[in-house]
Amino acid sequence: METRSLTDLIIKVVDKLLEAKSVVVFTGAGVSAESGVPTFRDKDGLWQKLKPEELANFNAFMRNPDLVTEWYSHRRKIMHQVQPNAGHYAIAELEKYFERFAVVTQNIDNLHKRAGSKNVYELHGNIERNYCIKCKKFYDLGDNYPDKAIYCECGGLIRPDVVWFGEMLPEDQYEGAVKAARTCDVCFSVGTSAVVFPAAYIPIYAKQSGAFLVEINPNPTEISSMADVSIQGKSGEVLPLIVDEFKRRKSV
């Protein structure tokens, strides 16, 4: 996309933001990939031979809790080595200008909160949280990366607080996200192919409810045709341009 048309699209988005009272930003793996977070099928050594479906499900955990615990320790360690990128920070900065603002993310890496976002709905959980499958007590493992199963004082296995294959989304997070989507004036869909349901309903609900839908993604997706503005580019490059222009015009 040539610079002139990108500038025009940014102005169009900012026009709507200046009128908006409520904003939702829906994010996917593409946002985190720009920070260096590997996608689900990363190429790391021994894990390359195992399919995520064989590790990220409850039956696998009960069958081999040592292996699944070690895999999540491996993933969490990688995520601790990366930092939020310009896209994360731009989203957090934009939130400061709206009383009603929600980040709805499919990512489990905690990078939105680390960047300063306050109101975050984590549809697929957060790898930083863990809980006992028996008594539901929560645990923060911090910088501990166990390579074997860990147990609660009640004797129950401790698992990561993420949504595994075959599991329902956390009800409170999904309901809050849907409510935000159905009442927002502007909805961004950023770094997501929008094919993983029910999460991918979020931008659809927003559009159906009358929101101005903005897509930012390197490639066209399933929702590109319904977006009011679709910008093909990286979130870490495009979002700061939008937020800078918004702040400039807001201060005039």
Q: For 166, list phi and psi in degrees, rounded to 5.
A: 90, -5
Neighbours of 216 (CB within 10 A): 29
pLDDT at 48: 65
Radius of gyration over every alpha carbon of the chain, rounded to an integer in angstroms: 19
Nearest one of 17, 7, 14 to 211, comparing CA atoms: 17
- Give the architecture (CATH level 2) of 3-37+85-124+168-250: 3-Layer(aba) Sandwich (3.40)
Q: Given this model, what pLDDT does residue 2 score?
A: 39
pLDDT of residue 187 exceeding 90? yes
Q: Which of 4-8, 87-91, 99-103 is least confident?
A: 4-8
Residue 51: pLDDT band with limits 50, 70, 90: confident
Write down the mean pLDDT value for the chain.
93
pLDDT for res 252 = 77
Q: Which amino acid, one-letter code, is at 186? A: V
pLDDT-derived band at 47 (thresholds 50, 70, 90) equals: low
Stretch(es) of the chain classified as CATH 3.40.50.1220: 3-37+85-124+168-250
In this prediction, residue 10 carries a pLDDT of 97
pLDDT of the residue at 43: 53
Q: What are phi and psi of 216, to 5 degrees?
A: -130, 115
Q: Tell how far CA 158 is from the center of its chain.
A: 24
3-state secondary structure the chain: CCHHHHHHHHHHHHHHHHHCCEEEEEECHHHHHCCCCCCCCCCCHHHHHCCHHHHCCHHHHHHCHHHHHHHHHHHHHHHHCCCCCHHHHHHHHHHCCCCEEEEEECCCCCHHHHHCCCCEEECCEEEEEEEECCCCCEEECCCCCCCCCCECCCCCEEEEEECCCCCCCCHHHHHHHHHHHHCCCEEEEECCCCCCCCCCHHHHHHHHCCCEEEEEECCCCCCHHHCCEEEECCHHHHHHHHHHHHHHHHCC
Domain with CATH 3.30.1600.10 in the chain: 39-81+129-162
Residue 78, pLDDT > 70, answer yes
Percent above pLDDT 90 for the chain: 85
Average pLDDT over residues 223-248: 97
pTM of the model: 0.93
109-130 pLDDT, tens digit per residue, is 999 999 999 999 999 999 999 9
Q: Which residues are catalytic?
A: 124
Q: What is the pLDDT of residue 210?
A: 98
Q: Are 27 and 103 in contact (CB under 8 A)?
A: yes
Per CATH, the architecture of 39-81+129-162 is what? 2-Layer Sandwich (3.30)
pLDDT digit string, tens, across residues 190-224 = 999 888 889 999 999 999 999 999 999 999 999 99
